[in-house]
Structure 1
Amino acid sequence: MNDSPLTRPDMLAVVQESAARVGFRMSCEDLTGTLLATLVASKPRGRFLEIGTGVGAGVAWMLSGMDAGASLTTIEINPLFHTAAAVTFVDDPRVEFVCADAGEWLREYDGDPFDLAFVDWRPGKFDQLDTLIDLLTPGGLYVVDDLLPQDTWPADHPERVDQFWAGWPRADMVATPMGWASGLLVAAKTSPARRIP
C-alpha cells in the first residue's frame, strides 16, 4: 500500500521555500501533515492549537483540512520563524500566530478549550502535559510527533522521550502510539475539560 498523501496543500511549497531561506530543518513531515488535515476535518468549526509553529508546515496542513468556521492558534518562540510563518499565511483569517514562550503561554491562557492540540515542541509534551490536557474539550485530540530517533535530536533528547512514554497510559485519555512518520502519539480525552473562568 502506498501511504503517501493523496493531496498536498498549495501553500506547502511556499513554506518549504521559506524554511530553506531561514535555515529551518524540522518542518512537520508530509505523513504527519496529512493525518493532521484529516483529524481537523473531523471537527467542523473546531478550535485548534499548535505548539511549535516552525515556519508553518503544520499550519499549511491543518488549514487544508479546516472548514471556514474553524480556528487555529499557533505558538512559536523564535521571532524569525514566527514572522516567516505569519507572512506566508497573512491572508487567512482562520489562523492566529503568537510569538511567545509556549510554557508561559500555557500558564497564562484564559480562553476556551481546544478540540485538538498538535504539540511539536517541549511544553505540552515533555513538561506541562497536564496543563495542556486540561485545555482540551471532552473528546479533544492530543497529537505529538518526533518520538522516534532523528539525527536532529540533541544528546539529552532520548531521555526526555523515555520520560514522556513513562507517563502513559493515562486514565483520562485513550491513546494510540504510532511507529510511523517521525513517531506519533494520538490520544482522545475522555474526561471533561476545565473551563477557565
Structure 2
Amino acid sequence: MSESGFSSYGIDVTSSAHSLTVIETTFDMTLQIMHGCDEPTTVAMTTCEYPPSTSSKWPEERLRYYRIDAGVGSGFISEIKDCALDHGEGGLDSVDILSSFPPRVLENYLIWMETWSENWQENHDQTGDYWGSIFRTAEEEVAWNVTGYLLAWRIAMCPEAGVVEYSTRQSQYLLEPGAELSVTIQFLKEQLHVLEMGNGS
C-alpha cells in the first residue's frame, strides 16, 4: 500500500522492524498494529482527548448512533435513531454532528467528503460512465477508504457515540470499542483485495 496517497488526508504511516505499524493523523487519532509470528496481532487506537475505553461512554439511553456512507448530494454522515441501525435517520448534517469534536476532525472530514465529490464529477458526470469506481486507481480508492475508516473510528471513540456504521463500496462495518481488532483485520483484508483486483474491483 503506497503511503504517499494518505498525505493529503493528514495521515502519516510508519513501520518498524518489530512488526509495528503506526498510523498517525492530524485529527487526534493514532492507530497501532502489532503483529508477529510468535505473538497474537493487536490493534490499539488512541486519542489525546478520549481514552479508548467504554468506561468513558455516556449512559446507553443517551448514546448517539451514526451511519457514514458516501452518496451524491449527501453529507456522508447521518444520525440513526437507535442501535438497531435500521430506523429512520436524523436531519443533522456533518457540521452539526461533528461540531463538538476538535476542529481538525471536521476539517479533515470535509476534505475527505470533497475528494469523493470531485472524483464523482470528474470520473462519472463528465464521462457519463456510472458503473466503475469513481477513483482513477485502486491506490486512490484504498487511501480514501482508509481515511474514512479512521475518521469513523475517531467518531466512534467519542463518549457520546454508540455504534458507527461505516460503509465502503464493498462492505459495511460496525465500529465500537472492543471491536478494533476483528473489524480492522476484516477491513484491511478488503483493502488488500481492492489493490489486488485493481481499479474497478
TM normalised by structure 2 equals: 0.29
TM-score (norm 1): 0.29
Give the greater-gyration-radius structure (CA). 2
Q: Which one scores higher on RCO, CA 8 angstroms, separation ≥ 6?
A: 2
Decide which structure has greater helix share: 2
